[in-house]
Amino acid sequence: GPGRAPGVRFFDAHPTPDDLRAEVLAGLSSTPKRLPPKLFYDAHGSQLFDAITELPEYYLTRTEIAILCDHGEEMADLLGRGRVLLELGSGSSLKIRTLLAALEPEVYVPIDISREHLRASAEALAEHFPTLAIHATCADYSVPFELPTEGDREGLAAFFPGSSIGNFEPEAARALLTRVAALVGIGGRLLVGVDLQKDRTTLERAYDDDQGVTAAFSLNVLTRLNRELGADFDLEQFVHRSFYNEALGRVETHLEALCEQRVRVAGEPFVLAAGERIHVENSYKYDIAGFHQLAAGAGFVPERVWTDPRRLFSVHCLRV
């Protein structure tokens, strides 16, 4: 677009490791023990996540991409062309490729917590879209952060795909969407991917695949703590457990200790009983009315929703 230099500029809000130690120690000191799912996304974890998106059991990514491909022009009509376009949790920036030609953003701002993965993804995107201005921003979007791009502060477009909103408890999801509404400003739009409630079998397979990629993805968080916080988790003594908690409408993922464990993390001792679990992720599933209610609580007006023919997944356009 006019006025923005094409190519990649890199901005670093330094989301880690400054607060890694405190967050991990707090989570392991609570009952039940828990760790935040953002810790999955070190360089190796981001690669494992990309492998998950190609698993036969993990229907989410391919279904969302099909919805984006089928309705891209209409989405661009609603989001507005030539705007500043933010993406929360841009990962490999693959999904946005289906929309970039239609959206023609003034500048694309991919925001991700995984620094080197973000850098490589932004460079790869620039090869495919040589006229695009890309302001890659390494930040933790689950807490307030500053946008690097000066200029328009109203009527921005934001893209939040993958049902990552489902990784937040409903109250935290509402708080996050409220901050996104403030980021895009009056007249701004959010295009957000939300996985739909469905039968238990489909959900449980998606989060516990036959090849064990999802198990490796969640166990990688312990490898990361061993490396970055000098922890001594024995990876052989933990297993991945995930199940659909229907009453709460979420898939839960836990790491379960196979026997009593004594571990040190950042110099602090912790004991896990045999069978004790560390809760590492929730993936909330919504129905359309339920998500509309959440969005309204954050100050968004639901404008349009698209689903696939099997109603596995939804993509919502919301406006401020």
| Span near ligand AVJ by CB under 6 A; candidates 132-140, 162-170, 177-185, 271-279 | 162-170
52 counts as binding ligand AVJ under rule CB under 6 A: yes
Cβ closest to ligand AVJ, residue 207 vs residue 300: 207
Cβ closest to ligand AVJ, residue 132 vs residue 160: 160
Q: Which residue in the set 114, 137, 167, 220 belongs to the binding site for ligand AVJ (CB under 6 A)?
A: 167
Query: How many CA atoms within 13 Å lie on the side-chain side of 33?
Result: 16
Q: How far is the CB of 174 from ligand AVJ (least distance, A)?
A: 17
Query: By C-alpha distance, which of 285, 16, 1, 239 is closest to 145?
Result: 16
Q: Report helix, strand or coil for 251.
A: strand
Q: How far is the CB of 259 from ligand AVJ (least distance, A)?
A: 25
Question: Are the beta carbons of 100 and 73 closer than 8 angstroms?
Answer: no
Q: Is 107 left (phi over 0), alpha (psi -120 to 50) or beta?
A: beta
Question: Are the beta carbons of 136 and 8 closer than 8 angstroms?
Answer: yes
162 counts as binding ligand AVJ under rule CB under 6 A: yes
Cβ closest to ligand AVJ, residue 149 vs residue 242: 242
63 counts as binding ligand AVJ under rule CB under 6 A: no
Residue labelled with tokens 């022009």: 73
The partner residues of 252 in beta bridges, in order of sequence, read: 243, 282
| Span near ligand AVJ by CB under 6 A; candidates 23-31, 64-72, 114-122, 156-164 | 156-164
283 counts as binding ligand AVJ under rule CB under 6 A: yes
Residues 170, 178: Cα–Cα separation, whole Å: 12
The partner residues of 245 in beta bridges, in order of sequence, read: 250
- Examine residue 2 and say whether the peptide bond preceding it is cis (omega within 30 degrees of 0): no
What character string, x for contact with ligand AVJ (CB under 6 A) and - otherwise, covers 178-217?
-----------------------------x------x---
Question: What residues line the site for ligand AVJ (CB under 6 A)?
Answer: 52, 60, 162-164, 166-167, 207, 214, 281, 283
